[in-house]
């Protein structure tokens, strides 16, 4: 079976879309990421990653209604697809398998 791999940023963006649910659009994804990971995230990086994840069919988007606060522009909301969920679960399993394989002595400090 061919595995699908996600880059770290793709993974956290996809997870953040899942966290936000129906409120997931580029601005809220960027804000939530900054809140969760504690570092500045560029809006353009998030936007580009959302588009790439949609091209891979891990997300799909729908256009929301126009709002006065956005000058009549519509928001593009993102939703994780079944394939996106499958990929996230595979990535999680790989990480768990790797952590389970780390021997308890791996992180012990050596006495010098």
**Distance of alpha carbon 62 from alpha carbon 5, whole angstroms:** 25
Indicate the domain borders of the chain: 8-97
The label of the residue with tokens 């580029």 reads: 26
pTM score of the predicted model: 0.84
CATH of 8-97, one of 1.10.10.10, 3.40.605.10, 1.10.357.10, 3.90.1520.10: 1.10.10.10
Strands 74-80, 59-66: pairing is antiparallel
Per the listing, tokens 């209604």 go with 65
| Bridge partners (DSSP) listed for residue 89 | none
Q: Find residue 80's DSSP bridge partners.
A: 59
Phi, psi (degrees; rounded to nearest 5) at 107: -110, 10
- Residue 32: predicted pLDDT: 95
Query: What pLDDT is stored for residue 1 in this prediction?
Result: 46
Q: Is the confidence at residue 68, as pLDDT, over 90?
A: no
pLDDT band at 112 (very low <50, low <70, confident <90, very high): low
Tens of pLDDT, residue by residue over 13-62, are: 999 999 999 999 999 999 999 999 898 999 999 999 999 999 999 999 99
């Amino acid at each position: 079976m061919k595995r699908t791999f996600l880059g770290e940023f793709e993974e956290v963006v996809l997870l953040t879309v899942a966290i936000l649910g129906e409120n997931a659009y580029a601005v809220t994804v960027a804000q939530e990421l900054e809140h969760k990971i504690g570092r500045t995230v560029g809006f353009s990086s998030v936007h580009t990653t959302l588009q790439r994840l949609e091209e891979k069919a891990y997300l799909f988007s729908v256009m929301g209604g126009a709002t006065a606060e956005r000058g009549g522009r519509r928001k593009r909301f993102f939703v994780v697809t079944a394939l996106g969920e499958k990929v996230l679960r595979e990535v999680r399993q790989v990480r768990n398998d790797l952590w389970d394989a780390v021997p308890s002595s791996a992180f012990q400090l050596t006495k010098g």
